[in-house]
A and B are shown apart, each in its own frame.
Chain A
Amino acid sequence: SQTIHQWPATLVQPVGSPLSLECTVEGTSNPNLYWYRQAAGRGLQLLFYSVGIGQISSEVPQNLSASRPQDRQFILSSKKLLLSDSGFYLCAWSLNSAPYEQYFGPGTRLTVT
């Protein structure tokens, strides 16, 4: 069966510091991968998605970037964090053949101070 991991689980970072969040999927090959941000009371917002290694699509212009260096690894980064980057970041995966049936990881709680 498939498993999705995210780390770290929680992170407290000062404004202006860099960020790197990692997501890995086990048990499947060539999945679609997604980064969402969940802000309190605002639902989930898709930030990036990837249909293959090195292929990244951005949904929202912002202070963040994503990379997919390996088939089942998805990384969310920032060079300089803003206070507004605080939130709960969720990684998800889906099969290529069923892109809307998305399965989520446990999430990373990011607090920018």
Chain B
Amino acid sequence: AQSVTQPDIHITVSEGASLELRCNYSYGATPYLFWYVQSPGQGLQLLLKYFSGDTLVQGIKGFEAEFKRSQSSFNLRKPSVHWSDAAEYFCAVAPLDSGAGSYQLTFGKGTKLSVIP
């Protein structure tokens, strides 16, 4: 079964500092990969996705993520964090072979980001 690990439960960074949130997945083949962001009490917003092609993916709000097949990782990065980026971030994977019949995304448990002014 596929799984997603976000090793950091909580990260605190200063405003203006760079950010990297880690995501590792376990799956037999290259899956679809996603990053979502969730503000307190809100739904999830899709930041970016990777299906194939260029391993560096650009998303909304200045975020990017890099797929590294050799490390089974899909880390999220931002060069300069803004106070409004404080939220919880979720990595998710889905099987590339859509014939699996279920459309379930497998989510990590999330990383909470705090931003110090």
Taking Cβ atoms with an 8 Å cutoff, the residues of A that contact B are 6, 32, 34, 41-44, 46, 49, 57, 59, 90, 92, 94, 99-107, 109
Contact = CB atoms under 8 A, between A and B. Distances in A.
B44 A104 contact: yes
Contact residues of A: prevailing secondary structure: strand
Nearest to B36: A104
A106 B108 contact: no
Nearest to A46: B104
Interface size class of B (residues with CB under 8 A): 20 to 34
A99 B90 contact: no
The 4 closest A-B pairs by CB, nearest first: A100-B94, A104-B43, A99-B103, A104-B44
B63 interface: no
B46 A101 contact: yes
Given A43-B110, A46-B103, A94-B103, 8 more contacts: A42-B109, A43-B90, A43-B109, A46-B105, A90-B44, A99-B98, A101-B49, A104-B36
B107 A44 contact: yes
B45 to A, nearest CB: 7
A103 B46 contact: yes
